[in-house]
A and B are shown apart, each in its own frame.
Chain A
């Protein structure tokens, strides 16, 4: 599945200062019955976002019109639990391209990178600063520069750098995915498989 290139993203952000947001919250299991990758954004955070009768829960941040943007800022240990890539699809399909947290669960991080969402890990102190900035002004913008590996709170100019390995960075900046890479080394893989015990 190809995705849009990621270079510089300047956007307002949606704050979700909750810790341990697990993939069952991001997309509950009962919405995993599709056989195509379509429409998962509608059920993003379904049970936090909607009442049982499908009316929106007013106190949930995604239902609050003052917050919007392509960046989701969340508490630590975001994306824990199930390996369902549907969680990343739902976030992408809803319109987010970047998730910022002080800590990500491993599989969620991999899944995000594989589909073109940039997970940005910041220090807990910087995460607090972002939340404070958005609290002060819901229209506060963040700039995420993948090439420079930096995230900036535009209003204050405060900035922090983040890690990403150069392979994944190159992929994201060019919209490449791993399958292209692996297809190009099929012969090497076949030779390896020859020697394999199983």
Chain B
């Protein structure tokens, strides 16, 4: 029997459709649901109001991350509203029998870091969370995307959501990445080429040598940023790198269950000849260390380049100029040498061990620039422990940096880690929107290497000039 060639995305999606509604969305079954303190309380209230129970408490996992302090986590949370939200998560999860890694739990951390590192995220799964960067989990060959609070309530009450099937896009990057070019640069480059809305309505599969040669941490960084070009999510076919990462993790299948799962996972790839609605090809050699100069992640450029003139900036002239004015930058300027006040390394985009290794590689033997405030925030306690075990903490301390405790921190600045108005931050997070890192804050998105170079020189610096 010959079958129509299918994409990886089709295979996973189609096997999770419970019911198709004519001229409507699919009723879509969810294997794993992550929740956190910010987008879940109203969903639990909704359940109460309807008098409905959680259908499968074992398929939902809670962690506190968005609204948590990154120092003194052993003390009571100071802000009463934040404390109330954390308390609500604790009460709700206890009431319905949902696993909860709250503040102080050794497994606690950012939801998209702890899912994979504990083996909860597996190939072929459907995964949702009330956070748009749920796309991170696509690195494992899962379909993963962010949902709103109404949908959180749907998953809690019925383990399903209603979703129209997105269109399919494939982005191929072939060739070899140069020295100092990280997965973050690859994704910022792609987004700068497609624009911040260029993949809206699509689910993206990443393919080609660059992704095949990438670590799981790197693939997570790339899939994480998919949403920043409007995509519903990103997915990468699982391979030996994936299987090796998962094997032995706490919640990963073991023994006979492992063999069975592995046999299935090996079928999870796009068939030869399968059709995509849109396809792009890029060359690894064209990618430089990237930095953003505007107020959406599509406004990125090679670090040695010049800020595009308004005509070439994409979008309307008025919006472009508003954006540059907010940043205090001008058309055609160089970014190199611009003063940096804050440096943030962390978030679900770049808060994994590989990111801190990269950061340490640059700061080793150097000193933090005096005027720079640096927030070094691991994605989880497990990452924090690795930083200590690998001697990275010593390098950081030696260079004048302080390691903070895990959480989302300055990625969305809901806690006290806020960049003051008018100040410039080089940030390894995912969004440079107006005020994202605090009212009036000015964010330049970049890789951990670029962040490290800024942290030790105090200005925007090409990290390759600091690498042996």
Contacts and interface: CB of A to CB of B under 8 A. Distances in A.
Interface of A: 1, 17-20, 22, 24-25, 28-30, 32-37, 47, 52, 75-77, 80-86, 88, 103, 105-107, 110-111, 114-115, 165-168, 177-179, 181-183, 185-186, 188-190, 192-193, 196-198
Nearest to A168: B24
Given A32-B414, A196-B29, A189 B55 contact: yes
26 contacts: A22-B296, A22-B431, A24-B431, A29-B436, A32-B38, A36-B45, A52-B421, A76-B315, A83-B132, A85-B42, A85-B148, A105-B230, A110-B147, A114-B150, A115-B150, A165-B164, A166-B23, A168-B25, A178-B150, A179-B153, A179-B157, A186-B158, A189-B18, A190-B55, A192-B29, A193-B29
A80 B197 contact: yes
Contacts of B434: 24-25, 47
Contact of B39 (A85, A196, A197): A85
A77 B196 contact: yes
B85 A35 contact: yes
A20 B29 contact: no
Contact of A106 (B134, B154, B200, B414): B200
B201 A106 contact: yes
Main secondary structure of the interface of B (DSSP, over half): loop
The interface centre, meaning the residue of A82, A88, A177, A192 with most chain B CB atoms within 10 A of its CB, is A82
Contact of B85 (A29, A33, A52, A88): A33
Given A20-B315, A193-B56, A33 B27 contact: no
Contact of A103 (B132, B160, B164, B197): B197
Given A83-B147, A114-B151, A179-B153, 14 more contacts: A18-B318, A20-B319, A30-B414, A32-B38, A36-B42, A81-B132, A85-B148, A165-B164, A179-B50, A179-B158, A183-B50, A183-B157, A188-B18, A196-B31
A192 B27 CA distance: 11
B31 A167 contact: no
A105 B200 contact: yes
A22 B319 contact: no
B147 A106 contact: no
Contacts of A165: 23-25, 164
A151 B440 CA distance: 37
The interface centre, meaning the residue of B59, B158, B201, B295 with most chain A CB atoms within 10 A of its CB, is B158
A4 B78 CA distance: 39
A107 B19 CA distance: 21
Given A20-B315, A192-B18, A167 B23 contact: yes
Nearest to B128: A83
Interface in B35-87: 38-39, 41-42, 45-46, 49-50, 52, 55-56, 59, 66-67, 79, 81-82, 84-85
Contacts of B130: 83-85
Contacts of A1: 46, 49, 150
Interface in B208-260: 230, 232
A89 to B, nearest CB: 8
Interface in B114-138: 122, 124-125, 130-132, 134
B433 A88 contact: no
The interface centre, meaning the residue of A19, A20, A105, A178 with most chain B CB atoms within 10 A of its CB, is A20
Given A24-B431, A35-B42, A37-B42, A110 B151 contact: yes
Contacts of B84: 33, 35
Interface in B404-426: 412-414, 421
A189 B197 contact: no
A19 B295 CA distance: 11
B379 interface: no
Nearest to B296: A20
B439 A47 contact: yes
A27 to B, nearest CB: 11
Contacts of B153: 179
Interface in B386-414: 412-414
A10 B79 CA distance: 43
B45 A106 contact: no
Contacts of A177: 150
Contacts of A80: 196-197, 230, 296
